[in-house]
Amino acid sequence: MKAAARITPAFRPALLRQPVARAALAGPSQVRGLATEVSEPAPVAEAEAMPNIEIPANLTFVDMAPATKKQSAAALRELGFPLHKISRATRYDDIEHPLSSLASDHPTHALPSGETILLPRDVFNMPLRKDILHRNVTWFLANMREGNQHTKKRSTIAYSGRKIRAQKGSGKARLGDRGAGTLRGGAPIFPLSPRDWSQKLPRKVQELGLRTALSAKLREGFMRIVPDLNEGMWAGTNSAIRALGDGLVNNEWVHRFGPRPDLSILFVHAPSKDKKDVAEFWRTVRNHPGIDMMSTDEIVVYDLLKYRWVVLEADVVDVFAGNPFAGVEYEPALAAQLEEMFASQIKL
């Protein structure tokens, strides 16, 4: 062993000497260095001019521009089109949105008169928060869920609560009433009951979800604002569907809220709207499965996301802006009573 140890240093320099080929392949840095030194850029050949190509006589070209325009127009109709514009100078101001009319042949377009309405930016210009929308939808669906597993308990089973026999004196085991779980035909000891899937969601998260959904609908161009839902004066369901769906007007195809069988519209009105007007409008649209009508105190995020189009009355904007008396007619007598009541409270 000692002799071998003395011989090893003599062979060590020879073992450390590597061939030239292995030295070049030792690592990427060495290879990169050698390649940099040895390799030279190849001369770039000058591009030769392409010869003129003769087109065969039986080859024809068709202009696809009109078809492309039709396809792009159809795609825009599927995506919706916004009627408002937000610039860098006005992105922090209230949104000026044109009004539409359900009595017009083009209910999704702006009125020719150019009437507009101001939308509060803190309600209709919120950034998209998918997490908030997901929480609201999950909360709503969980609260709508109901369980169906149910078995009778000891208190609901069809037996008397009388004790079967005396506690003592029979020489047998003590027994209670006939519905005991240890007896044949008795109630289950661990009965099944409907499970509760309901969840809780903070009120501010619900409000933020509504503002986010309204802003998303407006940004994508699927929101329209009309002065009154009853301005169409439709006689029945057929006339309402003809006015809302795509169709011919003066031998021209007019695009509205979509094909008649596939309409998906949510009409929203203020709580102060006359009940007769609400019932009259609902009578004309209730038979279509894709149309619904709700008040602002009933609407949730799930309803806004379920339907493609959202049509708001002008009074709804004031309700969402925080005015609870939107659409209420001014009555001098009621106003005087309110002033007296507030004055008496201030004096106290």
For residues 206 and 167, membership in a common domain is answered with: no
Same domain, 271 and 186: no
pLDDT at position 263 is 94
Q: Does residue 211 share a domain with residue 311?
A: yes
Residues 217, 220, 224: CA angle, nearest 5 degrees? 55
Mean pLDDT, rounded, for 26-52? 49
Cα 120 from Cα 136, distance rounded (Å): 22
Q: How many other CB atoms are found less than 10 A from the CB of residue 305?
A: 18
Write out pLDDT tens, residues 240-284.
999 999 998 888 888 899 999 999 999 999 999 999 999 999 999
Q: Residue 335: pLDDT band by 50, 70, 90 thresholds?
A: low
Local structure of 312: helix, strand or coil = strand
pLDDT tens profile 102-161: 999 999 999 999 999 999 999 999 999 999 999 999 999 999 999 889 999 988 988 988
Among residues 196, 218, 237, the one where a domain terminates is 196
**Tokens for 81?**
């089109």
DSSP 311: E
Alpha carbon distance 256, 105 (integer Å): 8
Name the token pair of 11: 């062979």
Same structural domain, 177 and 109: no
Which pTM value belongs to this model?
Answer: 0.67
Q: How far apart are CA 52 and CA 50, in angstroms?
A: 6
Backbone angles phi, psi at 309, to 5 degrees: -105, 145
Cβ atoms of residues 226 and 257 within 8 Å = no
Question: What is the arithmetic mean of pLDDT over 168-191?
Answer: 92
- pLDDT band for position 49 (50/70/90)? low
Full residue range of the structural domain in which residue 230 is found: 81-131+201-341
Give the tokens for residue 37.
Answer: 């030194």
Same domain, 335 and 189: no
Are both 262 and 120 inside the same structural domain?
A: yes
Q: Are strands 252-254 and 265-269 parallel, antiparallel or unpaired?
A: unpaired
- Report the CATH number at residue 226: 3.40.1370.10
The model's pLDDT over 56-73, given as tens digits with 9 standing for 90+, comes to 777 777 776 666 666 665
Residues 336 and 254 in one domain: yes
Distance CA(179)–CA(153), nearest Å, equals: 9
Q: Greatest CA span in the chain, whole angstroms? A: 122
Q: Please check whether residue 144 is in contact with residue 260, taking contact to mean a CB–CB distance below 8 angstroms.
A: no
Lowest mean per-residue pLDDT among 23-32, 98-107, 177-186, 244-253: 23-32
